[in-house]
Structure 1
Amino acid sequence: MLNIAYVGFGKSTNRYHLPYLKLRLDQFKVGRIVTPTLGKRPADQAFWEATGTIFSTDIADIINDEQIDLVVVVTPSASHFSVTKQLLAAGKNVLVDKPMAANLAEAQTLIELAKAQHLFLMPYQSRRFDSDFLTVQHVLQQGYLGRLIDLEVHMDHYRPDAGVTSGPKIDGSLFGHGVHLVDQIVSLLGSPHAATYDLRAAREIGATVDDQIEVNLFYDQAVKATLQTTELAMVQYPKWQLRGTKGTFIKYQVDEQENDLKAGIMPGTAGFGLDAPQNFGQLVYSNQSGDRIERHLPSLPGDYGRIYDSIFDTLTHGAPKLVSDEQMLTVMKILSAGDLENSPSVVKF
């Protein structure tokens, strides 16, 4: 049993973290939750208090509690570095929401501090357990496509009036949405040798924070991975397109977990997060006999809670971290190299 604490008790904690913890109370106990405002979510607070969770407004309560095995940081992005650094310096293992820092130098500082203290540190890259990503991973592992040539992944919305127009780089789409897609690509393909960046402020001319991005990552053996996000997509584009020497895989629909969570459908409910058959990806490939095969490939089930399963295995059984230090640094290297003011740009690593 791991005794964990949360810094932050807002939407993200209550939508993307705690619903999955409710299914894992045989492995985790939520010992403490620190939040700036007590009673803001009375029903949720009452539920966890009934399980023995102690609520307070001072992070020192977590730092001074020697029974806490892991602290989960779910605060505004700009505070991730300072809060995580404070907790690591105090000897606490940390899972920090994405992005883990505002630049590569900050990420290096956190990783070096964790190593020096022999502590666990990892970003909450929950979208490694998106249904669509797990299915793409399966397609590549099974070799349906032959040698991969092009991979394209989107995270698109139609939100013309939402979002910030000024602020630090960490508040832009590259660090906000792009961090998920970069991590997915890095987990599949590793570190690229070059990248191109097209970062724009499209919703409001003159804004200083990017809200539309295209990043191309270049690898050996003629492989290119493209990630795009926009807030002005009224017509849906495929979430994934993969092309190889022997086949193509296309999937339009995104993972359903977030849609279900927003609708109040919780993990553990029958059918939670599952794709409808009409939303399965289309796989077209040439088999060993040279026959053209077309099929709709059933989506593998997603489960953001599996990131907590991986942490339990690491902290209790010594298993390797789901997101390695090298992968953390590669993601932050790619994010840090993007610059709205100098876009479009080419960077060689």
Structure 2
Amino acid sequence: MINIAYVGFGKSTNRYHLPYLKLRLDHFNVRRIITPTLGKRAVEQAAWEATGTIFSTDIEDIVNDDKVDLVVVVTPSASHYQIAKTLLAAGKNVIVDKPMATNYDEAKTLVNLANKNNVLLMPYQSRRFDSDFLTVKKVLADGYLGRLVDLEVHMDHYRPNDGLQNGSSIDGALYDHGVHLIDQVVSLFGKPKAATYDLRSARILDSQVTDQIEVNLFYDKAFKATVQTTEVAAIQYPKWQLCGTKGTFIKYQVDEQENDLKTGILPGEPGFGLDVPQNYGKLVYFNQSGDRIEKYIPSVSGDYGRIYDNIFDTLTTGSKKLVSDEQMLTVMQLLDVGQQHISPHTEFFS
């Protein structure tokens, strides 16, 4: 049994973490939850207190609790680095929501500190268990597309009036939606040779907070991966589009887990997170006989809770953690250099 503590008890903790953890209480015990506003979520707090969870406002309660094995940091993005650093220095295993830090140097400091103290550090990249991403991985593994030439992945919305006037780079789209998509690409293909960045403030023209991004990641063998997000897409663009020498795969609809969670449908309930057949991705490819084949690929079921399964295995059996140090630092480097220069611009990596 792993004793787990949470720093933060807001929407993200109650929507994207605890509903999945409730299905895994044979492996995890929620020992402590730190929140600056006790009683703000009175019903949820009372429910966890009834199971023995201790609520308080001071992170030192976690630092000084020798029974806490793992801490999950679910706080505003700008606070991630300092909180994670404090916990790692205290010898705690730490999972931190994305982005794990505000820049590459901070991320490297955290990684070095975790390795020095022989504890686990990992960003909560739950979207590696998006249904659409898992389906893309299966299509690639099955070899339908041949040598991959182009990949596009989008995270688009229509929120034209929700722009921020003031903020820093960590408040922008690159560090928000972009970090998920870049992590997915890095998990598949590793570090690119070069990247081009187009970061814009499209809703409030004089804002310093970018809300529209396009990042092109260039790899060997003429392969390019494009990551794009916008908040002014009134007509849906494909979530994924992959083109290879033998075929193309397109999927429009996003993973259903988030939509279900927002409507109160919880993990473990019938139909949670499942795609309906009309939302399956379309595959067109040419077989060895040169025949053109068209079919729809049933979506692989997603499950954000699988990140907790991986953490449990890593901490109890020493298995490989989901996001390696190299991957998390590559993602942070790609984010960091993207916002250091006036856009558009190109960066090359050794």
TM-score if structure 2 supplies the norm length? Answer: 0.99
1: CA distance, partners of 2:104 / 2:165: 23
Partner in structure 2 of residue 8 of structure 1? 8
- What letter matches 1:182 in structure 2? I
2: CA distance, partners of 1:185 / 1:281: 18
CA displacement at 1:341 relative to structure 2:
5.5
Partner in structure 2 of residue 295 of structure 1? 295
CA displacement at 1:163 relative to structure 2:
3.9
Q: Deviations over 1:232-265 (max 9, x none)?
A: 0111000000000001000000000000000000
CA contact (8 A) 1:97 1:124 kept: yes
2: CA distance, partners of 1:299 / 1:18: 25
1: CA distance, partners of 2:117 / 2:39: 35
CA contact (8 A) 1:210 1:340 kept: no
Partner in structure 2 of residue 246 of structure 1? 246
CA displacement at 1:340 relative to structure 2:
7.2
Partner in structure 2 of residue 48 of structure 1? 48
CA displacement at 1:337 relative to structure 2:
1.0
CA contact (8 A) 1:209 1:340 kept: no
Partner in structure 2 of residue 87 of structure 1? 87
2: CA distance, partners of 1:329 / 1:193: 15
Partner in structure 2 of residue 36 of structure 1? 36
Q: Alignment length, in residue pairs?
A: 349
CA displacement at 1:48 relative to structure 2:
0.8
Q: Give the SS at the match of 1:253.
A: coil
2: CA distance, partners of 1:160 / 1:93: 40
CA displacement at 1:43 relative to structure 2:
1.1
CA displacement at 1:84 relative to structure 2:
0.2
1:53-132 to 2 correspondences below 5 Å: 53-132=53-132
TM-score if structure 1 supplies the norm length? Answer: 0.99
Partner in structure 2 of residue 167 of structure 1? 167
Q: Deviations over 1:167-203 (max 9, x none)?
A: 1211100000100000000001110010000000000
- What letter matches 2:253 in structure 1? Q
Kindly indicate whether residue 317 of structure 2 is the aligned counterpart of residue 312 of structure 1.
no
1: CA distance, partners of 2:340 / 2:286: 42
- What letter matches 1:211 in structure 2? D
Q: Give the SS at the match of 2:295.
A: strand
1:141-180 to 2 correspondences below 5 Å: 141-180=141-180
The root-mean-square deviation of aligned C-alpha atoms, in Å, is 0.7
Of stretches 159-168 and 129-138 in structure 1, the one that deviates more from structure 2 is 159-168
Q: Deviations over 1:99-127 (max 9, x none)?
A: 00001000000000000000100000000
Q: Give the SS at the match of 1:22.
A: helix
Q: Deviations over 1:263-318 (max 9, x none)?
A: 00000000000001000000011112211110010000000000000000000000
Structure 1 gaps, min length 5: none
Partner in structure 2 of residue 271 of structure 1? 271
1: CA distance, partners of 2:137 / 2:5: 32
Kindly indicate whether residue 18 of structure 2 is the aligned counterpart of residue 22 of structure 1.
no
1: CA distance, partners of 2:163 / 2:332: 22
- What letter matches 1:243 in structure 2? C
2: CA distance, partners of 1:339 / 1:27: 40
Q: Deviations over 1:31-50 (max 9, x none)?
A: 00000001111111111111
Partner in structure 1 of residue 207 of structure 2? 207
2: CA distance, partners of 1:254 / 1:176: 17
Partner in structure 2 of residue 283 of structure 1? 283
2: CA distance, partners of 1:147 / 1:221: 9
Q: Deviations over 1:116-157 (max 9, x none)?
A: 000100000000000000000000011010000000000000
CA displacement at 1:166 relative to structure 2:
1.9
Q: Give the SS at the match of 1:204.
A: coil
Partner in structure 1 of residue 134 of structure 2? 134
Give percent identity, aligned residues only: 73
CA displacement at 1:164 relative to structure 2:
2.2
2: CA distance, partners of 1:106 / 1:341: 19
- What letter matches 2:107 in structure 1? A
2: CA distance, partners of 1:163 / 1:276: 33
1: CA distance, partners of 2:47 / 2:278: 37
- What letter matches 1:213 in structure 2? I
CA contact (8 A) 1:273 1:301 kept: yes
Partner in structure 1 of residue 337 of structure 2? 337
1: CA distance, partners of 2:95 / 2:255: 23
CA contact (8 A) 2:164 2:204 kept: no
Partner in structure 2 of residue 186 of structure 1? 186
Q: Give the SS at the match of 2:336.
A: helix
Partner in structure 2 of residue 256 of structure 1? 256
Q: Give the SS at the match of 1:234.
A: coil
Seen in structure 2, the aligned counterparts of structure 1 residues 194 and 341 have a Cα distance that, compared at 3 Å, is closer
